[in-house]
Homo-oligomer: A and B are copies of this chain.
């Protein structure tokens, strides 16, 4: 039986009523008490619309200050919320709504058109999320406790097959993730964590949970803006920020010679190892970079490399956090094998998929541990591309490309990109000579989110395959020497 604790937002509103919960560059400042009141009122609004405990609802919104209000409202009701990536196309959203058995889609006003397109023909009810909850009195019937075993959020991730599947997170997953992070990074009353990552991904979302678990202030940005982040660090007493490599590159340039103040304690960096030169620049400018390894299934980082080890252990993702276990599936210590993870922050499974029998998960990533136990990730899951912090799965893109009339076969891989880190490149075999790049882009335009759309298209005679006919994505670029674009 899972533990039950007092509702985390009620608790913080009780312990720290006047402390800042949320702050934005636009000048919003909400205390925990205000956040609680708004979230509870929003919960009553949802209840009045008929949302009940256990209902699956979806939420389509960017990083608005009302995002935390909505997700806390959901927790007061005990509904399960599917957090939708706003960059997805309507058909992509449509798939997730149906796969997750969603009854209602709540959307921010700016995404009205996409929301209505997505629900078309699905039977899902689209409801604009009213940003200002209606003011009314307390009506009772809201949850007073957080049940660690109860499901809270679902976030879609793709895998081998290209069919996105919903990772279920319980309240316990999120709570233990926050606790493990505090045990790793420490905790002080002045901590203020900047969010410039999307809240619909676990990297951003997990900071909202840390806020209510720790009683910590959050500085919430609608999206990454290097000037605003720089200003927040220099003048707004921000102590922590979560970023991906491409953002850090901009920030370190902007930092200037004086560098960051001592009050800035942690730049939490996701999305793979970092170039050594970037680490050196950060070190010179007083930016303490914590490189991490994690995925949606682990509810945010599960291993972290502290700045103290950044150069000794260059290229490593560090050690597993105190609540987590991590090992390599190989009979020979030190050799490369699949990375296995286990712990109370690890998702118990996917929605509507066969249950996992083991308490641990196979990440699909390959890595090894050195003699001190530091993890090195050498190969990411199934050729995954990370583009501007978004995970991009070649199989998913290939599946759409292969549907296009005139396309016989499709292979997708990543290529380095100055701005996004990586971008997808497509290698296509044509059925006839009449098909053009424009046909491809026209077809995928509303079927694939922008960041999934190939930056380059190469037309080739055939795709590289191994003996068992498996596509060798790593060899795709070798075709460009002889292929024609």
User: What is A's interface to B at a CB cutoff of 8 Å?
Assistant: 1-6, 8, 11-12, 14-15, 172, 176, 179, 182-183, 186-189, 213-215, 319-320, 322-325, 343-344, 359, 373
Q: How far is the CB of A54 from chain B (nearest CB, A)?
A: 21
Contact, CB under 8 Å: A344 / B186? no
Write the chain B residue with the least CB distance to A343.
B5
Q: What does DSSP make chain A's interface, helix, strand, loop or mixed?
A: mixed
Contact, CB under 8 Å: A325 / B6? yes
Contact, CB under 8 Å: B187 / A11? no
Among B172, B215, B319, B359, the residue within 8 A (CB) of A322 is B215
Contact, CB under 8 Å: B214 / A15? no
27 contacts between A and B (CB under 8 A): A1-B1, A1-B2, A3-B172, A4-B344, A5-B323, A5-B344, A6-B320, A6-B323, A6-B324, A6-B325, A11-B322, A12-B322, A14-B319, A14-B373, A15-B319, A179-B179, A182-B182, A182-B183, A182-B187, A183-B187, A183-B213, A183-B214, A183-B215, A186-B188, A186-B189, A213-B322, A215-B322
Q: How far is the CB of A327 from chain B (nearest CB, A)?
A: 10
Write the chain B residue with the least CB distance to A308.
B189
Write the chain B residue with the least CB distance to A325.
B6
Measured CA separation A326–B319 after assembly (Å):
37
Identical chains in the assembly: 2
Question: What chain B residues lie within 8 Å of A4 (beta carbons)?
Answer: 344, 359
Measured CA separation A292–B4 after assembly (Å):
23
Write the chain B residue with the least CB distance to A146.
B323
Question: What chain B residues lie within 8 Å of A344 (beta carbons)?
Answer: 3-5
Question: What chain B residues lie within 8 Å of A359 (beta carbons)?
Answer: 4
Question: What chain B residues lie within 8 Å of A12 (beta carbons)?
Answer: 322
Question: What chain B residues lie within 8 Å of A320 (beta carbons)?
Answer: 6
Among B3, B5, B186, the residue within 8 A (CB) of A186 is B186
Write the chain B residue with the least CB distance to A322.
B11
Question: What chain B residues lie within 8 Å of A6 (beta carbons)?
Answer: 320, 322-325
Question: What chain B residues lie within 8 Å of A1 (beta carbons)?
Answer: 1-2
Question: What chain B residues lie within 8 Å of A172 (beta carbons)?
Answer: 3
Question: What chain B residues lie within 8 Å of A319 (beta carbons)?
Answer: 14-15
Measured CA separation A127–B6 after assembly (Å):
44
Q: How far is the CB of A68 from chain B (nearest CB, A)?
A: 18
Contact, CB under 8 Å: B183 / A322? no
Measured CA separation A122–B21 after assembly (Å):
59
Q: How far is the CB of A48 from chain B (nearest CB, A)?
A: 28
Question: What chain B residues lie within 8 Å of A179 (beta carbons)?
Answer: 179, 183
Question: What chain B residues lie within 8 Å of A214 (beta carbons)?
Answer: 183
Q: How far is the CB of A411 from chain B (nearest CB, A)?
A: 41
Task: Tell me whether A322 and B182 are in contact in the complex, defined as CB-CB below 8 angstroms, given that A3-B176, A3-B344 are known contacts.
Answer: no
Q: How far is the CB of A23 from chain B (nearest CB, A)?
A: 20
Write the chain B residue with the least CB distance to A12.
B322
Measured CA separation A182–B323 after assembly (Å):
15
Q: How far is the CB of A129 from chain B (nearest CB, A)?
A: 29
Measured CA separation A15–B184 after assembly (Å):
10
Q: How far is the CB of A416 from chain B (nearest CB, A)?
A: 34
Measured CA separation A8–B322 after assembly (Å):
8
Measured CA separation A14–B371 after assembly (Å):
11
Measured CA separation A187–B325 after assembly (Å):
22
Q: Besides A6-B323, A186-B189, 10 other CB < 8 A contacts?
A: A1-B2, A3-B172, A3-B176, A5-B323, A6-B322, A14-B319, A179-B179, A182-B182, A183-B187, A188-B188
Q: How far is the CB of A173 from chain B (nearest CB, A)?
A: 11
